[in-house]
Amino acid sequence: HGWVSDPTSAVNLQLNELIEHIATFALNYKIKYTEDNKLVAQVDEYLDDTFTLFSNYGINSTDLQKWKKSGNRLFRCFVNASRENPASLSC
């Protein structure tokens, strides 16, 4: 028995809009700050994993674990960057 997701629900459609907005921002950031490719790659991976997780009717533990791990890596990326250089967002 797993959690059932409805990709056509209003909440998931809003989530897809948010993912698209973040992806657009990341693309613009990638164009402007080419040296921050690690951060952009991690954001891209997290967005892909988020889309994979929530775009299906069922959520399996493998996709959930992959999503959690990519989210943790992205969070660590931001934490490490802020420690190294508070003015920079590079990983």
The pLDDT tens digits for 13-36 are 888 888 888 888 888 887 887 777
The pLDDT tens digits for 38-84 are 888 898 899 899 888 888 777 888 999 999 999 999 999 888 777 77
pTM for this predicted structure: 0.71
Give the Å distances, CA to CA, from 88 to 31, 37, 73, 82, 83. Answer: 16, 13, 17, 7, 10
Task: Please report, for the chain, the start and end positions of each structural domain, with discontinuous segments joined by +.
Answer: 10-84
Token output for 24: 């657009």
CB 27 within 8 A of CB 74: no
